[in-house]
Amino acid sequence: MPRTFGEVARPGSGSARSAVLVSLRDRGPATRAELARRTGLAPPTITAAVRRLLEAGVVLDAGPSQREVGRAGPPGTRVALDGDLAWVLGAEVGFRTLRVVVCDATGQVRGQGLERLGRDHSADDGLPVLRGLAARVLDQAGGSAGRVVSAGVAVRGPVSSARQQVSQSGELAGWSGLTAQDVAEVLGVPVRLENDANVAALGEHVFGAARGVDTSLTVKLHSGIGAGLIVHSRLFTGARGGAGEIGHTPVDPRGPLCRCGKRGCLDTVAAVPALLDAARPRYGDISVSELLRRVEAGDAGATRLVQDAASAVGDVVANACLLFAPELVVLTGALSRAGRVVLEPVERALLREALPDSDMRPRVVLGELEERGTPLGAAALALMQSGWLPRS
């Protein structure tokens, strides 16, 4: 039966065992000697606690420590949490696709899958697909729904943190009003809903380009432009969940009408639909993949379109950095596949707008996770909800 971390490491099970489990969760596999140094507990106490945890099947022998190869005896053998104590689901609801990943309690990916969704799909259409896809991925990974302890689901547009509900102003109109409880009833486990850009930021922080970075800003360049903020290693969503909606920053007061009712929002000049509209007179009805292939081939018109969009994003991101002061800016989403064509205009904007002290300017990098970033971030959200990943 899957268990939350709190159930496994409850203080009543022994304070030394709890200390060992917290250390293994937060800092990874370790030898008994390393655990003694980490926790400050006496080596005999650690040895006894590890023995009980091994007997209970909570931790596993993870082989010799790289730093202690050649040393004899138990102190040179690492132990690690047993990932099979709990699995989690991470899902991303997109405009035309639904992605699911399954991770174990240590964050290892056990399986993943994708299903296509119809145009203008709704929650009524998508939730049965989510249930079926999750079951198939679990089956292919050698597990079952009974092994899953929690799920995270990422959706486009704002999500109310307090109500755990998709906002009426979200990009997926057919999913507006959906609650975490609605999804939980379909999947049979507790669910956490979150905006996709926030979840992408969490994915890069836990698994990708922002690992080990205390404060970062991840910008998702996709059907909309959104930002996710990691502050002191915690996801920051604002008072009600609306932080990071930089796609609705006005950049042209006489620009196109945005779905939010304003004119000239960043989304109307730099998001994927805006670029495809701008490309239509020259290239006809093309996909974003075709546009990016033209960029890769050196097509001057396609390259200029993407560069102009990235410049607009860079100006907004530069202002956000003056307010937020991250160490790192991570670019993700479909347009990030253009590589340096996107990266360099953002770097130039930060150089132009930032304070003169170079130590105040964040580095700008491309995300490492590609299309897996958001579902992996949703899985990280589920790991946090069930306690298997520390919240800070």
Report the alpha-carbon distance of residue 312 to residue 247 in Å, rounded. 11
What predicted TM-score, i.e. pTM, was given to this entire model?
A: 0.90
- The pLDDT confidence band at residue 40, using thresholds 50, 70 and 90, is very high
pLDDT at 169: 62
pLDDT for residue 67 is more than 70: no
Report the alpha-carbon distance of residue 120 to residue 384 in Å, rounded. 32
Could you name the CATH architecture of 86-201+373-385? 2-Layer Sandwich (3.30)
> Where along the chain do the CATH 3.30.420.40 domains lie?
86-201+373-385, 211-368
pLDDT for residue 166 is more than 70: yes
Average pLDDT across the chain, whole number:
92
pLDDT for residue 11 is more than 80: no
Reference 197, options 175, 164, 230; nearest CA is 230
pLDDT tens readout for residues 357-382:
767 789 999 999 999 999 999 999 99
pLDDT at 285: 95
pLDDT at 236: 94
Winning range, highest mean pLDDT, from 45-59, 136-150, 331-345? 331-345
Q: Which residues of 17-40 are buried (b: 16+ CB within 10 A; e: fewer)?
A: bbbbbebbbeeebbbbbbbbebbe
Question: Strand pairing of 77-81 and 59-64?
Answer: antiparallel
Could you name the CATH architecture of 5-84? Orthogonal Bundle (1.10)
What's the fold here for domain 211-368?
A: Nucleotidyltransferase; domain 5 (3.30.420)
- Rounded to an integer, the average pLDDT of 153-178 is 87
